[in-house]
């Protein structure tokens, strides 16, 4: 069995995996990080999105063995150091951007990826970037609102810091 080491949410972890072990299985079953969810088996729904070396990736569609040495961030790594919600997370709560919560980790990870690349997206750009994240509860309305608000809050925070 290949041994794999990676950094997950800032901590170095390692484990023996089979070739067929998916990243999401490594996260959920080996590391107990059950915040990352599996909602489909065709890489369509995005409930499993995490960041790999800073890019959003569907963790159900990549092998753990392929990511030896990688840096992975999951939903469990998105809160502020003091445990309070990060800007994107807080915006989702403020704008009721989640209901059942199952797609939410993937939504937050994809939103964070978008805002890193495009700090001031238009509504259409937000919707387009969510193409690979399916939500059955919210009709996307409040998710889009939350992401737009997070963008505004982030740029506001930057202005305040400068």
Partner 1 sequence: MYAFDYVKAGSVSDAVAALGDEAQPISGGQTLIPTLKARLAMPSKLVDLTGIAELKSISVSGGVVKIGGAVTHGAVADSADVKGAIPALASLAGHIGDPAVRHRGTIGGSVANNDPSACYPSACLGLGATIHTSGGDIAADDFFQGMFATALGEGQIVTGVSFPVPEKAAYMKFVQPASRFALVGVFVSKGAGGVRVAVTGASESGVFRWSAAEQALAGNFSASAVPSAPSSDGMIGDLHGSPEYRAHLVSVMTKRAVAAC
Partner 2 sequence: MAKDSGIGASIKRREDVRFLTGAGNYTDDISIPGQLYCFFLRSTVAHGKLNGVDTAAAAKMPGVVRIFTGKDFEAVGGLPCGWLITSRDGTPMKEPKHPILASGKVRHVGDPIAAVVARSLAEARDAAEAIEVDIEELPAVIDMKAAVSGSAASVHDEAPDNICYDWGFVEENRDAVDAAIKGAHHVTTLDLTNQRLVANPMEPRVAVGDYNRASGESTLYTTSQNPHVIRLLMGAFVLGIPEHKLRVVAPDVGGGFGSKIFHYAEEAFCTFAAKAIGKPVKWTSDRSEAFLSDAQGRDHVTKIELALDQNGKFLAIRTNTLANMGAYLSTFSTSVPTWLHGTLMAGNYTTPLIYCNVKAVFTNTVPVDAYRGAGRPEATFQLERVIDKAAREMGIDPIELRRRNFVPADAFPYQTPVAVQYDVGNYQATMDKIVELADVAGFPARRAESAARGKLRGLGVNAYIEACGIAPSQLVGQLGARAGLYESATVRVNAAGGIVVMTGSHSHGQGHETTFPQVIAEMFGVSEDMVDIVHGDSARTPMGMGTYGSRSIAVGGSAMVRAAEKIISKAKKIASHLMEASAEDVEFKNGVFSVAGTDKTIDFASVALAAYVPHNYPLDQIEPGLEETAFYDPSNFTYPAGAYACEVEVDPETGVVEVKSFAAADDFGNVINPMIVEGQVHGGLAQGIGQALRENTVYGADGQLLTGSFMDYAMPRADDMPMFTVDHSCQTPCSHNPLGVKGCGEAGAIGSPPAVVNAVLDALNSGGIKVDHIDMPVSPARVWDAIQAAQH
Q: Name the binder of 143 from partner 2, partner 1, none, CB < 5-8 A by kind.
A: partner 2
- Six token digits for residue 26: 């490594």
> Which 141-160 residues touch partner 2, going by CB under 8 A?
141-144
Which helix or strand (DSSP H or E) is residue 158 part of?
helix 141-161
Q: Which residues contact 115 (CB under 8 A, 6 or more apart)?
A: 88, 121, 147, 150, 151, 154
Q: Are 63 and 20 in contact (CB under 8 A)?
A: yes
- Of 6, 114, 143, 154, the one binding partner 1 by CB under 8 A: 114
Please give the Cα distance from 35 to 18 (Å, whole number): 22
Nearer to partner 1, 41 or 82 (CB): 41
- Of 133, 145, 151, 154, the one binding partner 1 by CB under 8 A: 133
Which residues in this chain contact partner 1 in the complex, by CB under 8 A? 2, 18-20, 22, 41-44, 46, 49, 52, 55-58, 61-63, 65-66, 68, 110, 113-114, 129, 131-133
């Amino acid at each position: 069995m290949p041994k794999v080491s990676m950094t997950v949410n800032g901590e170095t972890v390692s484990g023996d995996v089979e070739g067929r072990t998916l990243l999401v299985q490594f996260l959920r079953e080996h590391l107990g990080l059950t915040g990352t969810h599996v909602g489909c088996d065709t890489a369509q729904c995005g409930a499993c999105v995490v960041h790999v070396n800073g890019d959003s990736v569907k963790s159900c569609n990549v092998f753990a063995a392929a990511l030896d040495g990688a840096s992975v961030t999951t939903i469990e790594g998105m809160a502020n150091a003091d445990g309070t919600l990060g800007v994107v997370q807080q915006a989702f709560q403020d704008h009721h951007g989640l209901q059942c919560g199952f797609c939410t980790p993937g939504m937050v990870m994809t939103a964070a990826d978008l805002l890193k690349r495009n700090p001031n997206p238009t509504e259409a750009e937000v919707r387009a970037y969510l193409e690979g994240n399916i939500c059955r509860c919210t009709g996307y309305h409040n998710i889009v609102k939350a992401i737009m608000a997070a963008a505004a809050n982030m740029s506001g925070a930057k202005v305040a810091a400068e």
